Amino acid sequence: SAVISQKPSRDICQRGTSLTIQCQVDSQVTMMFWYRQQPGQSLTLIATANQGSEATYESGFVIDKFPISRPNLTFSTLTVSNMSPEDSSIYLCSVSEGGFEQYFGPGTRLTVT
């Protein structure tokens, strides 16, 4: 399966600022996804990152708050904008190589103070 890396692995940010998280895959993949795991909660899909076009957002998530880029088949970024303490979560990217199985990166642990 693909090897996925994320940067940064963790960060502590002040409210009102923005953080961009990078997801790099070692091979071209069909689909890339971004998830959030809030403390003590399950994984929630934020959006599907589409190569060369706008991301597809799930209910409750909007582009102004979570802009996503996917310039090619191996890279994507998620920006968490105008952060508040409620955005403190683990953010995960995942990839699919064409099937239902998704493979996850190690996650980015974000704390907003």
Partner 1 sequence: DQQVKQNSPSLSVQEGRISILNCDYTNSMFDYFLWYKKYPAEGPTFLISISSIKDKNEDGRFTVFLNKSAKHLSLHIVPSQPGDSAVYFCAASAISGDYKLSFGAGTTVTVRA
Residue 82 Cβ, how far from partner 1 at the closest point, in Å?
A: 26
Q: Which one among 31, 69, 75, 79 touches partner 1, defined by CB under 8 A? A: 31
51 lines the binding site for partner 1 (CB under 8 A): no
Q: How far apart are CA 93 and CA 72, in angstroms?
A: 15
**Of residues 39, 40, 100, 93, the one with CA closest to residue 66:** 93
Instruction: Return the residue of 56, 82, 84, 111 that touches partner 1, per CB under 8 A.
Output: 56
Decide if 67 contacts 76 (C-beta within 8 A). Answer: no
Q: Which residues bind partner 1 (CB under 8 A)?
A: 1, 4, 31, 33, 41-45, 48, 56, 58, 92, 94, 96, 99-107, 109
